[in-house]
A and B are shown apart, each in its own frame.
Chain A
Amino acid sequence: MSVLESTATELLAELTAGNVSATELAQTYLAQIEKSDGAIGAFLNVDAERALAQAKGVDQRRQAGEKLGLLAGLPVAVKDVLCTKGWTTTCGSRMLEHFVPPYDATVISKLRAADAVLIGKTNMDEFAMGGSTENSAFKRTHNPWGLDRTPGGSSGGAAACVASSMAPLSIGTDTGGSIRQPAAFCGVTGMKPTYGRVSRYGLVAFASSLDQAGPLARTAEDIALLLEAIAGHDPLDSTSANVPTPVYTSSVRQPLEGLRLGFAREHFGAGLDHEVDAAVHDAIKVYESQGASVREVSLPHSKYAIATYYIIAPCEASSNLARYDGVHFGYRTDEKAMLAELAEERKSLERAGDRVKLEALDSPLVRMYRQTRSQGFGAEVKRRVMLGSYALSAGYYDAYYVKALKVRRLIREDYDKAFEDVDLIVGPTTATPAFKLGEINEDPLAMYLQDLYTVSANLAGIAAISIPCGITTAGLPVGLQLQAPPFEEEKLLRAAHMFQQATDWHTKRPA
């Protein structure tokens, strides 16, 4: 058996059978990281010592015959937006470069409770804002299928590490497509669970009403495994849904009889790459061959999803990121230099006798805030904080924010109506395969439009998954998106598994 080519589910069986130890697994993956990550750049932080110690602990407990958790001995990579106690959590930001949380996110606690081996923290767009991982303050992540390409984002590191076999399982977060789009670009499977299914406690907030952590892996089975470990009600998160967690690992293999798929015309609009279009249509044929029926559904407000999202998300972000002000944690500007500069400005204004500007000159505290935030945040974060602050400011609130919340309801109602007739909605995850690094990063609006097919699920709070469904002539993976009603992750997993039983796209690896 080759560890690096196995799925997590297969590895778990080997671990349980005693054919491989957690330590061996950890060593294998750490070696792979050592070998590949120089070129890929998926990880921000790998702590081999910690991972090996954890693995050793699992092995010892297994030998002692103790009852072990669901993921006992499996390496899991974690997006660097989830707080890990005593382990730097940067969110890809200069602002939190040295931030060491005094607590674990609930997802992390659950992974620990499941005896997973936390192998490293993965790269991401700063504060999860972006679709290419180019907004990381620390490094670029390259797509394993073409190193000049983006792995997608914001969970670019999370997807790239699975695609390049540096981790069998990985946790990402998805606010507008940040799990599904990188999964599609990197040819792996990735799920955004229903809002409320997985606790947000300790997930550093970008847009609180949209953020959701979820699993990335090779197969639907592996997704089921990881989801089962991290899902569940959390009293520390008021928005966490108090619903039972199904045993995904046992239901995932049951095919869906009489599956009704919805086909939304709105998901096949202008700008859809013809190879992606073709791959998605082929995928639908696969389902039909398995007995699924396909009917057309309408999501008339989906064309407003991007506009709605780019009001709601920045508004929430502008408030969520206010805490990064250089006082209680994180980066602070060089105070001495700042004060000197301020004194210099005052002097020159006084010389010029400019009383208006003197009056408006920042106090040392305000200047500390502004300087800290301007230096600590990257351009995209600042853009969104500005956008949100503007949209929430006096006179604009109703026109932008309230309006967006209303359209959000219309988008949700579209789904509710569509799901009266179908079980799942099928379509492309992204309009194109992975684009080139640097290709659109200078054009914010073009970057925002990348989220066209993914943001609706976040706005509506429903579940969605992206699975590999093809490879373009240029050798880049294509993702198929399935969307399900709230808390119907089981249907997504079963449908994804059915597809993966009939196809081998999910087994393809980059050269």
Chain B
Amino acid sequence: MNDKPYEIIIGLEVHVQLQTRSKLFCRCSTTFGQAPNTQTCPVCIGMPGALPVMNRRAYELALRTAVALNLDIPEFTKWDRKNYFYPDLPKGYQISQFDLPMSRNGWLAISDPKGAFQPKRIRITRAHLEDDAGKSMHDEAAGKSDSRIDLNRTGTPLLEIVSEPDMRSPQEAKTYLTELRLLLTYLGVSDCNMQEGSLRVDGNINLHIDTPEGKVATPIAEVKNMNSFRAVERAMAYEAERQYEVWCENKIKLGDKPGGHKTTRGWDDNQQRTVKQREKEESSDYRYFPDPDLLPVIVTPEEVEQVRANLGELPAAMRTRLETTYGIDPYDSDVLVNQGRELVAYYEELATASGDGRRASNWVQQDILRTLNENQQSISNFAVSAASLAELLKAVQAGELDNTRAKDVFDQMVRSGESAADVMSSLGIEKVDASAAESLCRELLEANPKIVEDLKAGKTKAVGSLIGQAKQRNPNVNPSQFKDMCLKIVESM
């Protein structure tokens, strides 16, 4: 992939807001975008005396995700306090999991259908539950040097998913995120909306540089503020180049003193670069200890198995199944599965009813996705049912109409909601019977001796003008059938 004398090492920390209706430790609503400080209570404000009680649904969603990410689920897990002062953290500590997280040691497989990298497993170190902080907003107005604090988000359940440094390119990082988001949406655990902050990514990156003395690691940078997957890809690419340039200049290695420690950088999307962030006030000493207000959770292997049994089909398995069942390529299964469960269900119905998985795949990817996109629709309210579209595909397959005409029919079906047969008859589309087609063919050949000669000389392209003439005479003529017929007659002449 890269011709530079280094390998890029990337690990990602993803924070996902779980789709619960109420917060992790209190019953305030988690609805996004409400007026500031209207979704708080003594518990999430951290008022004196208030106590947390854990949301069952949040734990279940976290468990479901952990199982789907092939993580080991220990029988015993507990909650810890991570102590630090920040105005958006009203308790003065975050409730998180430290030494005994609810899950560890899993993986997520990624691949690139275009073959940019070999399929691989990205190891996942751990996934654990914690509560979200509020929001600090700097008040630019009137030259005030205040920040304003909104605690609506405080206490929203977060699942932190930490990967091992297993990604070797910005593209792998992006693919990992895309696959992770897809999995999370298939599981129904998060809406993964980056704009609303329900999925947040921090990237840890450094380089392993080949030198005459062997491989050398550059200091790790943790990159924050990346608000899209594309930003992650760009930030990682930028950061790799930057680290290489810096290393060429100063030769500082990871762990060197001074300068070899981990730094925090922020991605500036406007400038398309990373910027060093101010170091914390003191070295982060979070003074973790078990939260005395919350009790441990014990989950049995049987319960974990039950969760596993109820996961439903996940994207990776679904891709493989579509490929073997319908004979489509990995690229196609990837496109289909990435569109979500509903579209896949539509595809499967279409493929089965039409009896042609590949044709169905092409139609879904091209015509349906284009139409949905143009009309800002989702497949659930698409006007043409899979059964109805299957009729059209079968007609195409039977040679009753060509693809071009079929697309006209499809557009009409989308507009009117009529069946394929109705649209075809209203457009006067009917199969030209074989003898009529043959006589038309002979007639045109007779009238065009020059073309016959060209054809005899092997210039098959010449048949194109005959097809045009035939279509003028009868729009229902099937071009490919007509072409075959002409060539056959010329051959026998």
A and B touching (Cβ–Cβ under 8 A): yes
Residues of A bordering B, CB below 8 Å = 82-83, 89, 91, 96, 99, 101-103, 105, 200-205, 207-209, 235-239, 315-316, 318-319, 321-323, 325, 327-329, 362-366, 369, 389, 392-394, 397, 401
CB pair A323–B293 under 8 Å, yes or no, is no
Instruction: Please pick, from A101, A318, A392, the residue contacting B49 in the complex, using a CB distance under 8 A.
Output: A101
Known contacts A315-B289, A393-B285, A401-B289; decide if A238 and B46 are in contact (CB<8 Å): no
15 CB < 8 A contacts A-B: A102-B47, A201-B51, A208-B292, A209-B292, A238-B53, A238-B295, A322-B91, A322-B92, A327-B90, A329-B45, A364-B145, A366-B281, A392-B83, A394-B285, A397-B288
CB distance from B79 to the nearest CB of A (A): 10
Known contacts A236-B51, A319-B81; decide if A208 and B293 are in contact (CB<8 Å): yes
| B52: chain A residues within 8 A (beta carbon) | 238
Interface string of B68-83 (1 = CB under 8 A from A): 0000000000000101
| A207: chain B residues within 8 A (beta carbon) | 292
CB pair B54–A238 under 8 Å, yes or no, is yes
CB distance from A504 to the nearest CB of B (A): 39
Instruction: Please pick, from B91, B149, B151, B295, the residue contacting A323 in the complex, using a CB distance under 8 A.
Output: B91
| B50: chain A residues within 8 A (beta carbon) | 103, 201-202
CB pair A392–B289 under 8 Å, yes or no, is yes
| A103: chain B residues within 8 A (beta carbon) | 42, 47, 50
Give CA–CA (A101, B285) in the complex, Å.
32
CB pair B292–A204 under 8 Å, yes or no, is no
Identify the closest chain B residue to A83 (Cβ): B49
- Judge if B287 is at the interface, Cβ distance under 8 Å: yes
Find residues 29-75 in chain B having any chain A CB closer than 8 Å to their own CB.
Answer: 42, 45-54
Known contacts A318-B287, A393-B287; decide if A101 and B292 are in contact (CB<8 Å): no
CB distance from A72 to the nearest CB of B (A): 26
| A235: chain B residues within 8 A (beta carbon) | 53
| A201: chain B residues within 8 A (beta carbon) | 49-51
Interface residues of B, dominant DSSP = loop
Give CA–CA (A325, B145) in the complex, Å.
19
CB pair A101–B47 under 8 Å, yes or no, is yes
**3 A-B pairs with least C-beta separation:** A322-B92, A392-B287, A209-B292
- Judge if B410 is at the interface, Cβ distance under 8 Å: no
- Judge if B382 is at the interface, Cβ distance under 8 Å: no
CB pair A323–B48 under 8 Å, yes or no, is yes
- Judge if B229 is at the interface, Cβ distance under 8 Å: no
If A105-B49, A323-B90 are given as contacts, then 20 extra A-B residue pairs at C-beta distance below 8 Å, sorted by A number, are A83-B47, A83-B49, A89-B48, A102-B42, A103-B50, A205-B48, A208-B293, A239-B295, A316-B289, A319-B289, A323-B47, A323-B92, A327-B90, A328-B46, A329-B48, A363-B281, A392-B83, A392-B288, A392-B289, A393-B285
Give CA–CA (A97, B236) in the complex, Å.
51
CB pair B292–A316 under 8 Å, yes or no, is yes
Find residues 264-308 in chain B having any chain A CB closer than 8 Å to their own CB.
Answer: 281, 285, 287-289, 292-295
Give CA–CA (A328, B136) in the complex, Å.
13
Give CA–CA (A315, B92) in the complex, Å.
14
CB distance from B26 to the nearest CB of A (A): 9
| B117: chain A residues within 8 A (beta carbon) | none
Identify the closest chain A residue to B54 (Cβ): A238
CB pair A397–B289 under 8 Å, yes or no, is yes
CB distance from B292 to the nearest CB of A (A): 4
Known contacts A208-B292, A209-B292, A327-B149; decide if A319 and B83 are in contact (CB<8 Å): yes
CB pair B49–A203 under 8 Å, yes or no, is yes
| A323: chain B residues within 8 A (beta carbon) | 46-48, 90-92
CB pair A319–B287 under 8 Å, yes or no, is yes
| A91: chain B residues within 8 A (beta carbon) | 48
Instruction: With a 10 A CB-CB cut-off, give which of A205, A207, A328 has the most chain B CB atoms.
Output: A328
Interface string of B109-147 (1 = CB under 8 A from A): 000000000000000000000000000000000000100
| B340: chain A residues within 8 A (beta carbon) | none
CB pair A238–B294 under 8 Å, yes or no, is yes
- Judge if B331 is at the interface, Cβ distance under 8 Å: no
